[in-house]
Amino acid sequence: MSSSATTHSLTGKVVAVTGAARGIGLATAVEAHRRGATVVLGDIHAPEVQAAAASLGARAHAFALDVSDPESFGAFLAGAAKAGPLDVLVNNAGIMPIGAFLEGSTDRYRRAVEINVLGCIYGTHAALPAMLARRAGHIINVASTAGKAPVPGGMTYCATKAAVVAFTETARVEYTGSGIAFTCVLPHFTNTDLIAGTTSTKGIPIVQPADVATAIVDAIERPRPDVYVPKRIGTILATQPLLGRTVRDSVNRRLGAYSTFLDFDAQQRQGYDDRISRS
């Protein structure tokens, strides 16, 4: 999977997805499965991920996985290998604690770094050796547009996603010519529990998990370094730094991008917060 010009059919491929019990991860597994892949779903919430895989039927497997634990990741990939050599790993698991920085706990921030950042690092470290031996494979890391622009109320989340952007881009360069493709996925607001209680930026529609999934699976078929969803957010984020900080801050403030993670409905977010306290 080294050339971006090459098209790779999903038929017969083994695709592992982390954080696949729901949301973008589940939608990605469903789409890869629909296009003919054998899918291996991992999630910290074992009963939910088992049920998700069972609903797909044949060519779908599920394992309990804590991406922040290298041993757990190793066991997950060993389980996946029973379905055949791993072609694609989608490091998707993530949590988003938001709110005024000092109101959040350092425990929750540590967990966000462990899951969002170390999850990608551990997954890549565990999956790469076998891929390098075959000179084929594709590692897809799900970052966020929050990794490219400041979102007040999301200091730690933005930092974790910026780390995923840098990690993936550096991996792409370090492993050029190895046969391994690296892709960074940068979705904007996507309709999952993760954004519960928030309001999206004015003028940019909230996308569906299936939209992100389609973009990810398209990138498996035709590898590329970045996948922005929706596509035009990539152009916006590339242009913004050229405006200078004063103009950028004023535009983003007017679009509501600087208040969305500060002024949200905490009651609507309670269910999500309770769930990530168990992640």
Ligand X SMILES: NC(=O)c1ccc[n+]([C@@H]2O[C@H](COP(=O)([O-])OP(=O)(O)OC[C@H]3O[C@@H](n4cnc5c(N)ncnc54)[C@H](O)[C@@H]3O)[C@@H](O)[C@H]2O)c1
Measured CA to CA, the distance from residue 46 to residue 36 in angstroms comes to 24
Q: Please tell me whether residue 96 binds ligand X under the rule CB under 6 A.
A: yes
| The one among 37, 44, 53, 136 contacting ligand X by CB under 6 A | 44
Q: Which two tokens stand for residue 212?
A: 């992100």
Nearest distance in Å: CB 69, ligand X: 8
Asked whether position 183 contacts ligand X by CB under 6 A, the answer is no
> Which one of residues 16, 32, 65, 158 is an interface residue with ligand X (CB under 6 A)?
65
Sequence letter at residue 267: Q
Stretch that binds ligand X, among 15-23, 55-63, 173-181, 232-240 (CB under 6 A): 15-23
Answer for which of 14, 115, 136, 196 binds ligand X (CB under 6 A) is: 115
Active site residue 258: no
Please pick, among 122, 157, 175, 228, the residue that the annotation labels catalytic.
Answer: 157
User: Which CB sits closer to ligand X, 67 or 236?
Assistant: 67
Q: What values do phi and psi take at 263, rounded to 5? A: -105, 85
Q: Which residues in 189-208 contact ligand X (CB under 6 A)?
A: 189-190, 192-195
Question: By CB under 6 A, is residue 37 in contact with ligand X?
Answer: no
- Residues in touch with ligand X (CB under 6 A): 18-19, 21-25, 43-45, 65-68, 92-96, 115, 142, 144, 187, 189-190, 192-195, 279
Positions annotated as catalytic residues are 157
